[in-house]
Structure 1
Amino acid sequence: MRILFTFIGGQGHFWPLVPIARAAEAAGHTVAVAGSGKLLDVVRGAGFTAFGTSDPHPPGGDPNTGLRDDSPLEPADREAAEREFADNFAGRGARRHATALREIIGEFVPDVVVRDEADFGSAVAAERCGVPCATVLVLASGALLRRDLVAPVLDEVRAEHGLPADPGLERLHGALVLSPFLPSLRHPEHPLPTDAFLYRPGDAVPVRARHPRPQVYFTLGTVMGGASGDLIERVLAGLSKVDADVVVTVGSKLDPASFGPQPPQVRIERFVPQATLLPTCDLVISHGGSGSLMGALSHGLPSVLLPLGADQPHNAEQAVAMGVAVELDAVEVTASDLADTVDDVLNDDLFRSAAQRVQAEVNALPPATAVVPLLEGLLH
């Protein structure tokens, strides 16, 4: 079987596809990945045949490396983020991908398309080409995708490709919905589809005790770090007051040296694989991105969340309601606020116990290999 995995946007939309893609390859299927031309090296570096849906970086690498937007942070605006998501992903992005993916489908001739949840254009292309399509959810709380905003924008793209309107988005998710997120993480107004298949992206992680000396991991993901104002400096100042060992990742576009000398217990890196850091951690400080939050919970770790935009405020709301996180205002938080909150969460067993309950639920899910027979079944 030939399977085409597709994603739109950044690495946070690519990596959720990887466990299923690798499981499919291990089962003997032919796999390729289509996504942003700027991420072709990332896709190939992960071991997959890659198709670009946009122009790649020019020779010499990313011209934005080392650049930083020092503008003051604006408060996260959920309504604006929801409208921007509809305009960007269901409008401009879907229009670009619907055309690009029809060409790639014609070239690769897949039996099945597996798309990231936000890649609306691939759903249009697969439907137009008559190829079965599965959807991998990438939005933990689900609340960023508002049907009333997405449907009318996407219907314009559907019409351009000769497809009927889909005002209820019944056709959008395709034949199969795959969720690495537990129902408890979903916003009450955006529950999982009743037929969604829940799976565990990685290996089951044994529950473990806290380290004798606390270990803290701080990240703003692969995208947000360069547009976070002075937030990283404020967090670093707060962490310098915490009695813990700290690892900070700032993304490939920022130079760790630009943040100046740090105390011996604080280490700043561009990137360290989350999978290698989380087993050593007791607390994660993050922006509340879906991947960062689920990574922490799969290891039974509580979080301190500083949402900046996109689906992060929605995810933070659910995590706080579950008792696994504390949310701080990224615009207003001071170094002292951050230090006090980190100390409180590290020393309150209720947060860790709640996170470990979620971890047990995740461990009980079937692995990504269980998805492969479902994809094979789409041919029948």
Structure 2
Amino acid sequence: MLFTAGGSQAIVFAIAPLASAARNAGHEILLAADESLMEVAEAIGLPAVCIIPERMRFGQDVLTAAVRLDALLELAEDWAPDLIVGGLSHVPRVFAARLGVPYVRQAWHFASMDRRDRTVLEGLAPEMRRLGVAELPEPAMFINLCPPSLRPPGSPAARSMRWAPRVRQARVEPWMYTRPDGRPRVLITAGTRNLVLDTLGTPLRALVDELTGAGAEVLVAALPEAAERLARETGDVRAGWIPLDVVAPTCDLAVHHGGATTVATMINAGVPQLLIPDMGMSRNIAESLCGFGAALMVEERRTDADRNPGELIGARCREMLSDPGYAERSRLLAEESASLPTPAEVLRELEALPAA
């Protein structure tokens, strides 16, 4: 089974549970990814091969398609997969059609991607002609990691799968898995796309002060390369790389950018979320969570012009910490997520595809 990933480290974390389940079941797997993702793939124990030295950003399928397809075809000359698993990119789908093997798409879908998909596939038409691919069959399976309750009406039919957090680890210390006495714990993170959270132009120190002033313990989870900067900005607050899967169950609130894997980890732990979207997809995610009652959202263009953004975010945090409704709705989502089929269960369906 060949798994593919491009873009941020979060994509590797997203594909890892199913890839690991396949490997644990005795299947031969490889992860084809960008050079920038090699180190994180190695860190979480996935055998990875580099197919391109650049990092593919969201929506760049067409710009890098020829290089990626040629690299994948070269890989297939020595290691021919029986099944290919990809995500938002359609390049692996073209590759699977060229090889004549089943293709599985795994994604975290909150909103329809039909318009983007059509545009990308039109852009890939020259590469399809070059490779002799007349048409692209529909994926043999679409795996959606989004809990059904958060999917909008008209969402495509999909095989649900439970989110199983898989992130780069760090030495675990007692404060990571225990709750603080007598005060709520708030986690701030920007995921793996950015070094630290961009809180609408508000210095991180100001946001931390708002939260600690409200009586909360604050943790700042960020990429390792941001640790020195965080130490200067946040003083005695615990900051740096923190394994979210360990810390999340001890948190009362998470403040972050709305990335899918961060959202999924918090849903898994039943944590209410305050979202500050940094891109369109993050906004879709935020709207779904807010509609369910498990989150609030703050957007730059909608902030009160007469109010400091840090104060506004702090006020939203206090509102969520004082209203048990957000925690209750978050617990309902966690229960729904826990009821979904595990990666090992979904794997059994994938195993039947190559012989179909």
Whole-angstrom distance in 2 between the partners of 1:244 and 1:120: 44
SS of the residue corresponding to residue 260 of structure 1 reads: helix
- 2:232 is aligned to 260
Q: Aligned match of 1:274 in 231, 237, 244?
A: 244
Q: Can you give the 5+ residue segments of structure 1 that lack an aligned partner in the other structure?
A: 58-83, 204-208
Q: Quote the offset at 1:227 in angstroms.
A: 8.5
- For 2:114 and 2:180, the matched residues in 1 are separated by 34
1:356 to 331, 334, 354: 331
d(CA) in 1 for partners of 2:203 and 2:28?
A: 42
- The 3-state SS of whatever aligns with 1:184 is helix
Query: Take 2:243 and 2:93, find their aligned partners in 1: how far apart are those partners?
Result: 30
Deviation of residue 95 (structure 1)?
3.4
> 2:84 is matched with which residue?
113
The structure where helix makes up a greater share of residues is: 2
Measure, in 2, the Cα distance between the counterparts of 1:369 and 1:341. Answer: 39
Secondary structure (helix, strand or coil) at the match of 1:146 reads helix
Give the Cα–Cα distance (whole angstroms) in 1 for the partners of residues 163 and 64 of structure 2: 26
Q: How far, CA to CA, are the matches of 1:306 and 1:144 in structure 2?
A: 25
Residue 334 of structure 1: which of 309, 329, 344 is its match? Answer: 309
Q: Letter of the aligned partner of 2:225 in structure 1?
A: K
Aligned to 1:60: none
- What is the match of residue 288 of structure 1? 258
Residue 342 (structure 2) aligns with = 367
Secondary structure, in 3 states, of the residue corresponding to 1:164?
Answer: coil
Would you say the 8 A contact 1:219–1:248 is kept in 2? yes
Change in Cα spacing, 1:238 to 1:154, as seen in structure 2 (3 Å) is farther
Structure 1 length as normaliser, TM-score? 0.80
Report how far residue 259 of structure 1 moved: 5.8
CA contact under 8 A between 1:143 and 1:187: conserved in structure 2? no
Q: Where do 5+ consecutive residues of structure 2 fail to align? A: 166-178
Is residue 94 of structure 1 aligned with residue 56 of structure 2?
Answer: no
DSSP-derived class of the 2:255 partner: strand
Displacement after TM superposition at 1:142 (Å):
4.6
Q: Name the amino acid aligned to 2:63.
A: R
Taking every aligned residue pair, what percent have the same amino acid on both sides?
25
- Confirm whether residue 197 of structure 1 aligns to residue 156 of structure 2: no
- Equivalent position amino acid for 1:304 in 2: L
CA contact 2:34–2:51 (8 Å) conserved in 1: yes
- CA–CA distance in structure 1, aligned partners of residues 329 and 337 of structure 2: 13
Give the 5 Å matches for 1:41-80. Answer: 41-55=39-53
1:184 aligns with 2:149: yes
Distance change (3 Å), C-alpha of 1:222 and 1:378: same
- The answer on whether the counterparts of 1:211 and 1:282 sit within 8 Å (CA) in structure 2 is no
CA contact (8 A) 1:305 1:327 kept: yes
Q: Does 1:248 align with 2:220?
A: yes
The amino acid that maps onto 2:331 is: Q
RCO higher in structure (CA 8 A, sep ≥6): 1
Q: Which amino acid aligns with 2:244?
A: Q
Give the drift of 1:213.
Answer: 2.0
Residue 18 (structure 2) aligned to one of 17, 20, 36: 20
3-state SS in 2 of match to 1:225: coil
Structure 1 Cα separation of the partners of residues 147 and 28 of structure 2: 29
Deviation at 1:183, TM superposition (A): 2.4
Is residue 305 from structure 1 mapped to residue 305 from structure 2 by the alignment? no
Letter in 2 for 1:291: T
Asked if structure 2 preserves the Cα contact closer than 8 Å seen for 1:5 and 1:113, the reply is yes
Distance, in Å, in 2 between the alignment partners of 1:211 and 1:315 is: 32
